[in-house]
Structure 1
Amino acid sequence: MYSQIIDTIKQYDTIIIHRHVRPDPDAYGSQIGLKYILDHNYPQKRVLAAGEHDYNMDFLDFPDIVEDDDFEGALVIVTDTANTDRIDDQRYRSGAKLVKIDHHPNDDDYGDICQVDTKASSSSEMIYELFTYGQVEENWSMPDAGARLLYAGIIGDTGRFLFPSTTQKTFDVAGELIKYDFDRNELHNGMYEMDRKLLHLQGYMYQNFQMNEDGAAFVKITKDILAKFEVTPADTSLLVGSLGNVKGIKAWVILIEEDSEIRVRLRSKGPVINTLAKEFGGGGHPMASGAVAYSWDEADRVIGRLKEICAKA
C-alpha cells in the first residue's frame, strides 16, 4: 500500500495534507512532517498543510493558508484522523483523489487509498515507514525538519514511550530520527513545559478528582473553574494524563465544560475505553479516547459507564 501511495504522490503537482481538529503533536507531526518530506524530495510540487492552527502547537510548526482554488486537481492526504467528521477543513472533499494514513481503528473506511495500521504507535511512525519505502523506491532523503516533526509525533502519542502502543519498532524508528540535526532538548521543553496557571489547574485536579474502589476516577472542570485559572478548554489537553500518576487508578475521565458542550477525555491503564467513547459519539484508541456530552446529566452517564467497565476489569 505504501508503494501505491508513493506512485499516487508522483502523479500530482499539488498535494494538500490534512489532519484532525484539536490537533496534538502526532497530528502536526504526521501532517507537517510529511509535508517537509515531500517538499524536500519533490521541490517542483506544491505541498500544503491545511487546517486551523492551535497556538499550543506554536513550538512545533504552523499550517499553510490554503485557498479554494488550490484543491482543484489536487491530491488530498489525511493523516491521523479516524473519521471524516474530525478532519480539520472539510474542503478535503474538493480534491481529485483522497488518501487516508492513520493508526486509529478503521471505523470510517474513507479514501480512495486507505492505509491503516492500528499496531503503529502513531501516525508519525507510519509516515516514517512511508519514508523508508520512498527511500528504497525513489531515493528519498529525510530533511532535518521532517525528522523533528515525526519524532515529536511519536513521543507525543506514546507518552514519552510509556504507553503500551510503544513497540520495538517504535524505538527503532525513534533511534533513526534522533540521528538528524534538531534540538531534542528544545523540542521536549516545548512539549512538556507548562505555564504556571496550567500547573495551578493541575493542582486543582489532584485535589478534586474522585475515585472509587474499582479504580474509576473523574474530575469535572466547569467554565467557572476555567475562568478562575485563566485557562482555555484547549489548554487542558496538556493535563489529560495527569491522573495516570495516581496509585490504584484503572481508568479516568476529565470533563471540560465548553460553551455548548462538555468535552469528554478518557484515558486508561488497562480497561478498554474506546467502546465507551463510541457510545457517546466519539472514539479513539483502546486506552485513549474522546467524546462529547451535551449536558452534565449525560456526562454523569459517562462516569457511570466508566465505573461499570472498571468494576469488570
Structure 2
Amino acid sequence: MKDIIFEKIKEWDSIIIHRHVRPDPDAYGSQGALKELIKTHFPNKKVYIVGEHEKSLQFLTQMDNVTDETFARSLVIVCDTANRERIDDERYRNGAFLIKIDHHPEVDVYGDIAWVDETASSTSEMICELFIEFEKDGAQISEEAARLLYAGMIGDTGRFKFPNTTERTFMWAGKLIKKGFSREQLHDAMYETTLPILRLEGYVLSELKLRESGAGVVYLTKETLEKFQVTSKEAASIVNSFSTLKGIKAWVFFVEEEDIIRVRLRSKGPVINKLAERYHGGGHPLASGAQVKAWEETDEVIAELDSLCEAYE
C-alpha cells in the first residue's frame, strides 16, 4: 500500500492534504510533514495543506489558501481522519483522486485508496513508514519534516506514556531526533499553558467525581468556562490531568458548547470507542470523543461507562 501511495504521489503535479476538524499535534504533524516530504523530494510539485487555522498549533505549520478550481486537478490525501464527517474542508470531495491515511479504527470506509494501520501510534508514525518509499527513490528527510513528525508522535503517545507506544515508535523517534531540531523548544511550545487553563485545572481536580465503578466524571458548563475565561478547545488540554489517580479506570469530561455537549472519553483499560460511536463519535479504544444534545443524556453515558468499568479487570 505504501508503494501504491508513493506511485500516486509521483503521478500528480498538484496535491492537497487534509486532516480532521479540531486538530491535534498528530493531525498537524502528519499533514505538514507529508507536504514537506513531497516538496523536498519533488520541488516542482504544487503541494497544499488545508483546514481551519488553529492558533494553538501555529508553531507547527500554517495552512494554505487553495482555490476551488485547484481541487478538480489535484490528488487529495486525508490524514488522521477516521470518518468523512470529521474531514476539515468539505472540498476534499471535489478532488480528482482521494487517498486516506489513518491509524484510527476504521468506522467509515472512504477514498479510492485507503491505508489504515490501527497498530501505529499515530498517523505521523505512518508517514515515517511512508518515507521508506521516498528513501528508496533517493530522498532524505529534512529537519522540518522530522520536527513535525516527532511532534505528532509525542502528541498521540502522551510523550511515549500511552500503551499505543511500541518498539517501532521508539525506533522512529530515535531516527527523527538525529535531524537536529530543538526538542526543548518543541516541548515548550506544545505543553506551555496559560494562567486561566491552570486555574481551570485546579477546579477540575477539586470537582472530579470518582464513582464506585472506577469511572471519573467532570462537568464543565458554559458558565464555568466563561468564569475561567477558557474555551472548549482549550479545556481539551487538561483531559488527562488526573490520569494518575489511584483506582480510576476511565473518565469522561462533559464540556458544554453553544448547541451541543462535548463528550471526551479516556481510559486506562476499558475499551471506550464503541461507547463513543453510540453517541455520534468514535476514536481509539482508550481515547475517544462523542457528543450529546442535552445534560439528561449525560446520565446515559455515565451509566454505560460504569458498566464498562465494572466489567473490566
Q: Secondary structure at the match of 2:73?
A: coil
- Residue 275 of structure 1: aligned partner: 274
Q: How does 1:210-229 map to 2 (within 5 A)?
A: 210-229=209-228
Which runs of 5 or more structure 2 residues have no equivalent in the other structure?
Answer: none
Q: How does 1:144-155 map to 2 (within 5 A)?
A: 144-155=143-154
Q: How does 1:191-210 map to 2 (within 5 A)?
A: 191-210=190-209
Q: How does 1:232-311 map to 2 (within 5 A)?
A: 232-311=231-310
Deviations 1:42-99 (A, max 9, x none): 1100000010011111221211112111102100000000000000001001110000
Say whether 1:17 aligns with 2:10.
no
Q: Secondary structure at the match of 1:100?
A: strand
Distance 2:227 2:277 in 1: 32
Q: Secondary structure at the match of 2:16?
A: strand
Shift in Å at residue 196 of structure 1? 0.9
Q: How does 1:48-197 map to 2 (within 5 A)?
A: 48-136=48-136, 138-197=137-196
Distance 2:286 2:296 in 1: 24
Shift in Å at residue 211 of structure 1? 0.8
Distance 1:66 1:233 in 2: 28
- Residue 30 of structure 1: aligned partner: 30
Shift in Å at residue 245 of structure 1? 2.0
Distance 1:245 1:228 in 2: 27
Q: Secondary structure at the match of 1:244?
A: coil
Mapped contact 1:243–1:252 kept (Cα < 8 A): no
Distance 1:223 1:295 in 2: 13
The code of the aligned residue for 1:108 comes to D
Distance 2:74 2:268 in 1: 42
Q: Aligned-pair RMSD on alpha carbons?
A: 0.7
Q: Which moved more, 1:51-60 or 1:159-168?
A: 51-60
The code of the aligned residue for 1:62 comes to Q
Q: Secondary structure at the match of 1:61?
A: coil
Q: Secondary structure at the match of 2:242?
A: helix
The code of the aligned residue for 1:244 comes to S
- Residue 43 of structure 2: aligned partner: 43
Deviations 1:270-294 (A, max 9, x none): 0000010011011000000000111
TM-score where L is the length of structure 2: 0.98
Shift in Å at residue 266 of structure 1? 0.3
Distance 1:10 1:231 in 2: 44
Which runs of 5 or more structure 1 residues have no equivalent in the other structure?
Answer: none
Q: Secondary structure at the match of 1:111?
A: coil
Q: Secondary structure at the match of 1:156?
A: helix
Q: How does 1:1-16 map to 2 (within 5 A)?
A: 1-16=1-16
Distance 1:133 1:250 in 2: 41
Q: Secondary structure at the match of 1:177?
A: helix
Distance 2:242 2:296 in 1: 23
TM-score where L is the length of structure 1: 0.98
Distance 1:107 1:63 in 2: 27
Q: Secondary structure at the match of 1:140?
A: coil
Distance 1:237 1:15 in 2: 31
Distance 1:215 1:60 in 2: 37
Distance 1:225 1:145 in 2: 39
Greater than 3 Å deviation, 4+ residue runs? none
Q: Secondary structure at the match of 2:26?
A: helix
